[in-house]
Copies of this chain bind each other. A is one copy, B any other.
């Protein structure tokens, strides 16, 4: 290919994907079915309907349909902030002195600051289409809550966010973004729900937890007429919506005749990673191409590299369906000094199965080196990355430096899921030399594995 590659490859709007891809359709080993926590039997659409929108419940359980049309209304919204650019990291390459070509798919060019919006708008759309009044959700740091509030304001849908109380108080900026988009943000545990009142009575002055916020959001959804609960990661439906990342990436590479060698993504619940790699993994599954795919997780929360492949609860409150996944046990709590996101105890069942089948490699990195890579990247590429995304940056830099040694001109593609503008407390810690690493001991992991259910 002699075509000159620009700094940023933008697809035309007419080149944007019109369908999401469901990689399960191409998987010979399907992810194990999710189980009803009450019966421990595979859930049905009917059992999911009181909690999820009907269309989303169908997507969740569908492992045979390869493509879902993206509804026109969602395409319209996508066009406000997509296509996202595929950026050639010329300046980083030069700084590293590597012969490798580094590309990143940048998902931070929207007010939610991350890829979360890709699924939030889909979930809001299906809720609206079903004639619902609103949706409920929980949020920790607030990234997902922000994306959902933007999506709901677009469709004029009520949005009720239960935000872990400590974050509500310590992260007022995220809270205010959500309020600006019209969401009601309630510190959890609250007095709005039975479970919240119970927790407040039992533990006066508690600052809350994600598990508790999930419980409140689910109760709020099931006890109000016309409401459903929505979730920002882990679920297969979310991963389907996020394939817009990978489909655009592949279209942009194809447009310039670039063949990716290594594809790198950070992995928390797996929605971003799964969305990025699905179309590439699909090619591998169909025997059409081969790629090296690397999932990057924090050493402090190493579900793929040190977890067990087993059925587990998706939430600490144990009210959501069980999924078979790489997990540290739903009782696992990452060290409080952990500043780099990606705190989820398990991993998307699709990503887990692909990993178990050897299509994906995994690597864990420590947060001090993640922030070092983030700062190095920011100073030459201009974008201040989210700590989560910076896990992928770290490994992309490592791979590019390997190429410097071997002389290989590899094409390295990584997902830059978002910006770090609301993560400056973590950056301040790093700037002040106060970021410390934490790796759980085998004993600690054994203890949290003990919280795995016997299925």
Q: Which residues of A contact B (CB under 8 A)?
A: 6-8, 10, 12-13, 76-77, 79-81, 87, 90-91, 109-111, 113, 150, 153-154, 172-173, 176-177, 179-182, 375, 378-384, 419, 421-422, 424, 427-428, 430-431
Instruction: State A173–B428 Cα separation when bound (angstroms).
Output: 8
Q: How many copies does the complex hold?
A: 2
In the complex, the answer to whether A382 meets B81 with C-beta atoms within 8 Å is yes
**Provided the pairs A109-B109, A110-B382, A154-B382 are in contact, do residues A180 and B7 lie with their beta carbons within 8 angstroms?**
no
Instruction: State A323–B10 Cα separation when bound (angstroms).
Output: 43
Query: Shortest beta-carbon distance, A326 to chain B, in Å?
Result: 33
In the complex, the answer to whether B375 meets A180 with C-beta atoms within 8 Å is yes
CB-CB under 8 A from A12, the residues of chain B are 6
Query: Shortest beta-carbon distance, A53 to chain B, in Å?
Result: 22
CB-CB under 8 A from A79, the residues of chain B are 6-8
Pull 7 A–B residue pairs with CB atoms less than 8 Å apart, ordered by A.
A76-B91, A111-B382, A111-B383, A154-B380, A173-B424, A177-B427, A180-B430
Instruction: State A110–B375 Cα separation when bound (angstroms).
Output: 15
**Provided the pairs A80-B91, A176-B428, A431-B180 are in contact, do residues A111 and B6 lie with their beta carbons within 8 angstroms?**
no
CB-CB under 8 A from A380, the residues of chain B are 153-154
**Provided the pairs A172-B428, A176-B424 are in contact, do residues A181 and B379 lie with their beta carbons within 8 angstroms?**
yes
CB-CB under 8 A from A378, the residues of chain B are 111, 153, 180-181
CB-CB under 8 A from A111, the residues of chain B are 378, 382-384, 419, 421
Instruction: State A380–B173 Cα separation when bound (angstroms).
Output: 20
In the complex, the answer to whether A384 meets B154 with C-beta atoms within 8 Å is no
**Provided the pairs A419-B111, A421-B422 are in contact, do residues A431 and B379 lie with their beta carbons within 8 angstroms?**
no
Nearest neighbor of A117 in chain B, beta-carbon distance: B382
Query: Shortest beta-carbon distance, A72 to chain B, in Å?
Result: 13
Instruction: State A173–B425 Cα separation when bound (angstroms).
Output: 7
- Main SS of chain A's interface residues? helix
Instruction: State A270–B235 Cα separation when bound (angstroms).
Output: 49
In the complex, the answer to whether B180 meets A384 with C-beta atoms within 8 Å is yes
CB-CB under 8 A from A181, the residues of chain B are 378-379
In the complex, the answer to whether A154 meets B379 with C-beta atoms within 8 Å is yes
CB-CB under 8 A from A91, the residues of chain B are 76, 80, 154
CB-CB under 8 A from A176, the residues of chain B are 424, 427-428, 431
In the complex, the answer to whether A80 meets B382 with C-beta atoms within 8 Å is yes
Instruction: State A173–B378 Cα separation when bound (angstroms).
Output: 16
Instruction: State A13–B81 Cα separation when bound (angstroms).
Output: 19
CB-CB under 8 A from A154, the residues of chain B are 91, 379-380, 382
CB-CB under 8 A from A179, the residues of chain B are 427-428, 431
- Contacts A109-B109, A180-B427 known; 5 new A-B pairs at CB < 8 A: A10-B10, A80-B91, A80-B381, A111-B383, A181-B378
Nearest neighbor of A87 in chain B, beta-carbon distance: B80
Instruction: State A76–B8 Cα separation when bound (angstroms).
Output: 12
Q: Which of B113, B172, B375, B384 contacts A424 (CB 8 A)?
A: B172
Instruction: State A90–B72 Cα separation when bound (angstroms).
Output: 14
CB-CB under 8 A from A172, the residues of chain B are 424, 428
Instruction: State A177–B431 Cα separation when bound (angstroms).
Output: 10
Nearest neighbor of A109 in chain B, beta-carbon distance: B109
Query: Shortest beta-carbon distance, A331 to chain B, in Å?
Result: 34
Instruction: State A381–B150 Cα separation when bound (angstroms).
Output: 9
Query: Shortest beta-carbon distance, A193 to chain B, in Å?
Result: 24
Instruction: State A380–B79 Cα separation when bound (angstroms).
Output: 13
Query: Shortest beta-carbon distance, A321 to chain B, in Å?
Result: 32
- 5 closest cross-chain pairs (CB), A and B: A173-B424, A7-B79, A153-B379, A176-B424, A111-B384
Query: Shortest beta-carbon distance, A82 to chain B, in Å?
Result: 9
Instruction: State A87–B179 Cα separation when bound (angstroms).
Output: 25
Instruction: State A205–B380 Cα separation when bound (angstroms).
Output: 38
Instruction: State A65–B172 Cα separation when bound (angstroms).
Output: 49
